[in-house]
Structure 1
């Protein structure tokens, strides 16, 4: 069956001598893995750069329901990203978020159009951000919850279901603003406060979605600090 869909690339691994297996969240099918044949060949007319994290593509997929691993027949850029892959801070945040997002999407094997629109809009906003860049990952993860069925509609929910102590009043207000304000919200906070907030958010998802600790976490912290 041929399926046309937009997709958000979350990463890839080498497959064989010239191909890759890409992890992609698609609008029509949810999260899945797809073979891209001969993309690493010297004769390939398409660049492997299309499969950098958070790239948004227009896809033609060859889907066979009896297979876990599907194939990409055609692809092209849907929305060119101009800054995410050229900026060190944005690139580090992207690698971290695609790792966490991939873990959370393991259960999203069916379409979730509202979640796709949320992620697509967030990526487009992130690419254009000039302020509040260092807070984007916090905002994204705070805003993400409801689309996955985790009702983070109040910051207290982050702490009531885990063993972490509630934040200070100042940090509580900052986290509440990060969740409710648009991307690019600029607020000054200490390195320790930012780490505490991120730890709290990750612990919430680890508790409810049973995800493991992101391998890219320490890299992100070293770049932001």
Structure 2
């Protein structure tokens, strides 16, 4: 059966000489994986760029009651980006966020609220010309609410991460004292993200590290985020 749906590309892996297997979060079917043939050919008009992280697609896809890999009948860009491909900071942020989404969203069923949050956030990010340095932090905070473990305030994040760190420590020292300095910034990002001023990149990187740890406490087998090193280097 054919289904028309919008999709958000999460990632792809190479398959055979010129094909790929791509993971897409679809509006109608949740997370799906598709085989795309001959998309990596080095010829004019190659469409591999459409399967970069967080590209937005309009698609007509095949479905199967058996699940597993299927194919895309038709696909095209749903929203050509105006800034993301030309800004290394933005593309690095999206690479990181797409990996986080890919590791945290597993369900093969529709979730309109989650899909619309992701879709609209990506468009908003593309349209931002400046002051987007906190976007990935705000995005992860909002995503956590859609995933069911969103914090109500900054203290909740710090306490959970600090308690976890203390449980793993042999010294028994209260890490909450070292982390408390970031509590107010998390609280501001939750309440008034557009008015939050984080003093420098070092604080921002520490906050991201804390937020990833917070996700690890709630998402089973989240694992290492490979794109984090690239993001940290680009935003340093």
Q: TM-score, normalised by structure 2?
A: 0.87
Name the structure 2 match of 1:125: 124
Deviates further, 46-55 or 81-90: 46-55
Name the structure 2 match of 1:55: 55
Name the structure 2 match of 1:168: 180
2:202 is paired with a residue of what secondary structure? Answer: helix
Which string of whole-angstrom CA distances, capped at 9 and with x for unpartnered residues, describes residues 144-200 of structure 1?
Answer: 11111113222222133332544435x322222222335x65624223311221111
**Hey, which bits of structure 1, 4+ residues long, moved more than 4 A?**
42-46
Structure 1: how far apart are the matches of 2:41 and 2:15? 12
Name the structure 1 match of 2:191: 180
Structure 1: how far apart are the matches of 2:15 and 2:152? 41
Structure 1: how far apart are the matches of 2:130 and 2:189? 13
Written as runs of structure 1 = structure 2, the 5 A alignment for 1:214-225 is: 214-225=225-236
Note the residue ranges of structure 2 that are not aligned, 5 or more in a row: 166-174
Note the residue ranges of structure 1 that are not aligned, 5 or more in a row: none
Q: Which one has a bigger Cα radius of gyration?
A: 2
Written as runs of structure 1 = structure 2, the 5 A alignment for 1:180-219 is: 180-181=191-192, 187-210=197-220, 211-219=222-230
1:103 is paired with a residue of what secondary structure? Answer: helix
2:60 is paired with a residue of what secondary structure? Answer: strand
Confirm or deny: 8 A CA contact 2:3 2:60 kept in the other structure: yes
Q: Deviation at 1:42?
A: 5.3
Structure 1: how far apart are the matches of 2:70 and 2:204? 39
Structure 1: how far apart are the matches of 2:14 and 2:225? 21
Taking a change above 3 Å as real, the CA distance of residues 83 and 186 of structure 1, as seen in their structure-2 partners, is farther
Structure 1: how far apart are the matches of 2:48 and 2:228? 25
Q: How many residues align structurally? A: 222
Confirm or deny: 8 A CA contact 1:132 1:187 kept in the other structure: no
Name the structure 2 match of 1:9: 9
